[in-house]
Structures are given as C-alpha cells and as structure tokens.
Amino acid sequence: MFKKIVFSVLTAVCMMTIPVSAADISSLDRTCHGYGQGREVDECNRPYGALTFNDEFGCYDCRAILDNDKRICLTFDQGYENGYTGSILNTLKEKNVKAVFFLTGDYAERNEKLVRRMIDEGHIIGNHGMKHASLPSVSIEEAENEIMSLHEFVKEKYGCEMQYFRPPCGEYSEQSMAICQKLGYKTMLWSFAYQDWDVNAQPDPDEAFERISSAAHGGEICLLHSVSAVNAEILPRVIDSFREQGFELGLPDE
C-alpha cells in the first residue's frame, strides 16, 4: 500500500506539466533510452517501469500508464497494413470499444479507407512519426519535422488534428519528450506489450490470450500491433476478459 501511495503522489506531482522554451530544449539530455514496462509489478498488477516513467517524464506530458484504476485503453500501432485492421475495427464496433490507432506516414497515405473508418467510428488517430524515425537520433529540427509533417498531412487529408504521439521503437530522450510537448503533443507509451509484431512467428492464440488477460491492471495502456493475425483472432476474448475482471475500456482522457 505504501508503494502505491508513493507512486500515486509522485505521478500526480510530475503530471503538472512545465512548458519549456526552445533554448531550454536545446540544453536537455539527448541520451536515447529504450522503453520497456518490465516484469515487476505492484500489488495492483501495475508495472513499476510504467509508474517510474510517469514519475520521471510526466512533466513533459508523457505517460505510460493512466491515472485511472478502472480503465484500460487499447492502442494499436499501424506501421503497415496486413489485412487485419478491418477485423479489429469490426470487433471494436461490435463490443462498443474505442481505441487509439498510431499511424506512420506511409500508413496514413496508403490506407485512406481504413483511416477514415477509424475516425468515423470514434477512435483516436495518433502520430507514430512520418518515417518512424527514432527522435533521439535526429536534430531538433528533424524531430519537429518528423512529427509535424505527418500532423499537417493528416489534418489536411482527413480533417483530424492529432494530439497523441507514440515514440517509434519506444525510443526517447528527455529532449525528444520536451519537443513533443512544445508541439502540443502528449506522448503515450504503454504499460503492457508483448511480442506480437513478428508476422512469421505469431504466438499461440491461447498463450497470447492468457498473457494479455493475466496482465490486466487499472490504468493500463495496452499496446497491440494490428499486423498480428493472433491479435485479431483473440481480441473479442480479450475485451470480454477485461470486462469480466471489472475493468472498463475507453479512451485516455474520457
């Protein structure tokens, strides 16, 4: 209980965002970190890695877990289309669930019908980088272009102004987080993910379902890849399991 209270207080304090100037950003640490929620969890099944990330970077409008002990937010990374997004959208519609879809530039350009369906059905479109570049590895100007070129494309083509950014490859630095904040973005990582992206090594459906459902926790940001045949297959069971465990499914800021 003590750890839970400490993390809650620290996260609440850090989530008071502190805008930074261009001069401030140039002086911030550019060390590249690879995010992972880790295996250690608290008594509420929340990964310490996600809680620590919120504590360290919440002041830059970044979060890896939501401050809501009842909600789970489903998110999907859309690097390329593999034929399963339609099925995923069908399931979400049938189950009355809204999700966040993080698009790369290539996906947004090539898959107009699916993107328009996401928007029309009430899902959030997120920014996953125009070229899926690792922001800590590029200059401030290049990082801003990576984000805003896709932002402007989606705004012009789809009439949608994105507000959430997911760092490509889960790679970030203090400076890259501040750049996103400066551009008006909230950075969203995750508190659950598993190895689902390799289309040539898909996990066993029952094992995947057990892994996802057993990791459920309040405030969860659940990362799934839409290229996965297994994810599309087990998604109805996953949603039912979350609800049976007492969680609601919804968008991050509802």
pLDDT band for position 213 (50/70/90)? very high
Element (DSSP H or E) covering residue 127: strand 124-127
Q: What is the pLDDT of residue 13?
A: 41
Percentages helix, strand, coil for the chain (3-state, rounded to 5) are 45, 15, 40
Q: What is the pLDDT of residue 12?
A: 43
* Residues 60-68, mean pLDDT to the nearest whole number: 97
Amino acid at 12: A
pLDDT band for position 253 (50/70/90)? confident
Amino acid at 195: Q
The encoded tokens of residue 158 equal 């789809």
Q: What is the pLDDT of residue 5?
A: 42
Q: What is the pLDDT of residue 8?
A: 43
For residue 202, what is the DSSP state? P
**Tens digit of pLDDT for each residue in 13-53?**
444 455 565 558 999 999 999 999 999 999 999 999 999 99
Q: What is the pLDDT of residue 74?
A: 98
pLDDT band for position 10 (50/70/90)? very low
CA–CA dist 172, 9 (Å, integer): 24
Domain boundaries along the sequence of the chain = 62-248
Q: What is the pLDDT of residue 23?
A: 53
Average per-residue pLDDT for the chain:
92
CATH class of 62-248: alpha beta
Q: What is the pLDDT of residue 78?
A: 97
Q: Could you write out the DSSP letters of every residue in 149-171?
A: HHHHHHHHHHS----EE--GGGE
Say whether 106 is catalytic: no
Residue 95 scores a pLDDT above 70: yes
Q: What is the pLDDT of residue 103?
A: 98
Please name which of 200, 214, 222 lies closest in space to residue 244, comparing C-alpha atoms: 214
Say whether 225 is catalytic: yes
CA–CA dist 201, 184 (Å, integer): 38
CA–CA dist 168, 184 (Å, integer): 18
Residue 60 scores a pLDDT above 70: yes
Residue 9 scores a pLDDT above 80: no
Q: What is the pLDDT of residue 24?
A: 85
Backbone angles phi, psi at 86, to 5 degrees: -60, -45
pLDDT band for position 183 (50/70/90)? very high
Query: What percentage of the chain carries pLDDT values higher than 90?
Result: 89
* Residues 109-130, mean pLDDT to the nearest whole number: 98
Residue 11 scores a pLDDT above 60: no
Residue 61 scores a pLDDT above 80: yes
Residue 215 scores a pLDDT above 80: yes
Please name which of 213, 219, 230 lies closest in space to residue 54, comparing C-alpha atoms: 219
CB burial of 49-65 (b: ≥16 within 10 Å; e: otherwise) equals bbbbbbbbbbbbbbbbb
Question: In sequence order, what are the residues at sequence separation of 6 or more whose Cβ sits closer than 8 angstroms to the Cβ of residue 210?
Answer: none
* Range scoring the smallest mean pLDDT among 9-18, 102-111, 118-127: 9-18
Q: Of residues 3 and 31, which shows the higher confidence score? A: 31
> Which residue in the list 77, 123, 128, 151 is annotated as catalytic?
77
